């Protein structure tokens, strides 16, 4: 299973933070990141120069294209929605409100990766748990 990130609160960071932290967590060099970050749809990669500039949050950096985000997600083993949200926050000032610990965001990102049958099983499990749990008054 691919890790969401070492810190669930990382979902509140910028794309620069998420990429820098994840590369450090994996212990890979910029060269290795460049070799891994290939868009599964187009086969195009992300240069180590772009990754380096992104990690440093270089002023006036060109926002990543959808293909670059897919490549980074694939290369660093992160959910694409996490990267899209972080890019929106960093480059466009768009912020999604989630519960403070980041657990809900991590759950939603992983849920979206499941096939429809597994999504139905998870929903059934949540419903069963919620109906069996006494309600606080």
**pLDDT at 3 (0 to 100):** 38
pLDDT-flagged residues of the chain (< 50): 1-11
CA atoms of 92 and 95, how far apart (whole Å): 9
Q: What is the pLDDT of residue 112?
A: 82
Domain that holds residue 105: 1-137
Identify the pLDDT of residue 137. Answer: 57
CA distances from 46 to 63, 66, 68, 70 (A): 13, 12, 6, 10
Domain total in the chain: 1
Each residue's pLDDT tens digit, 33-50: 999 999 999 999 999 999
The DSSP code for 62 is: P
Torsion of CA 119, 123, 126, 132, to 10 degrees: -140
Cα separation of 33 and 23, whole Å? 7
| Separation between Cα atoms, residue 77 and residue 25, nearest integer Å | 11
What's the confidence (pLDDT) of residue 4?
Answer: 40
CA 97, distance to chain mean position in Å, is: 15
pTM above 0.95, yes or no: no
């Amino acid at each position: 299973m691919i890790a969401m990130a070492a810190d669930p609160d990382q979902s509140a960071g910028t794309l620069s933070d998420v990429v820098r932290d994840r590369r450090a967590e994996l212990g890979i060099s910029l060269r290795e990141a460049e070799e891994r970050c290939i868009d599964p749809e187009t086969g195009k990669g992300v240069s180590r120069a772009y990754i380096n500039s992104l990690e440093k949050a270089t002023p006036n950096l060109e926002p990543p294209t959808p293909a670059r985000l897919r490549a980074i997600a694939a290369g660093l083993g992160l959910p694409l929605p996490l990267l899209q949200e972080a890019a929106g926050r960093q480059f466009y000032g768009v912020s999604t409100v989630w519960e403070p610990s980041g657990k809900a965001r991590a759950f939603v990102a992983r849920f979206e990766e499941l096939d429809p049958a597994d999504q139905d099983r998870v929903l059934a499990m949540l419903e069963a748990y919620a109906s069996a749990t006494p309600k606080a008054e």
